Amino acid sequence: MITLAFTEFGSVDILVNNAGVYGPMGPTESVSLAEWRRAVDINLYGVLIPCRALMPHFKRAGRGKIIILSGGGATNPLPNVSAYAASKAAVARLMETIAEELRPFHVDVNAIAPGALATRLMDEVLAAGPEKVGQTFYEKNKKWKSEGATPLHLGAGLAVYLASSESDGITGKLISAQWDPWAHLHQHRDELAKSDIYCVRRIVPEDRGKKFS
């Protein structure tokens, strides 16, 4: 696919990794291990492989943009959807790691949490039912399906922003299309570069005003 892109266009400037599956749904101890592994293959290796294929090109060019769809599984536990949650958390750390590797070459690598989208993934949760995905997760998806999910244009707009020159220098971040003020992040470029804002990190007691002895 990448060879075809070079043949047709001569160069590749932007890579968007927008593919993923929930994988098997149900208690972790009873779901199919083969399907669990397949979800990791799609969600994690499916990000790694095109990144690896284009990283040398981006390095030579001294520029480039990589945009990865992480989803909410990267930041919160998802009982009964463990393959998705684990693989998406891994995607977030892979994104940050590649971002550091490519920072000297002015290649920006970021992840997007687009929000709850009315896609086939939502239909799969509803089809699985509360006995497999849990009542809470099922009810959330049922509500999103009936009352409206996150508008698709938010994630698309964030992807366009991260692909643009306006966002140059913003890298290694996991950004919410629904909740973060992403249209103005370039105004905080230097502050973002020096902090772990919009990153997945371990929380220690001091972060919450507590001290454990």
Nearest-angstrom CA–CA distance, 138 and 144 = 10
Catalytic residues: 84
Query: How many beta carbons lie within 10 A of that of residue 17, not counting itself?
Result: 21
Cβ-Cβ contacts under 8 Å for 130 (sequence gap 6 or more): 138, 139
Largest CA distance in the chain: 62
3-state secondary structure of 150: coil
- What does the block give as tokens for 79? 């009982």
Q: Are 93 and 202 in contact (CB under 8 A)?
A: no
Which region, left, alpha or beta, applies to residue 139 given φ > 0 means left and ψ of -120 to 50 means alpha? alpha
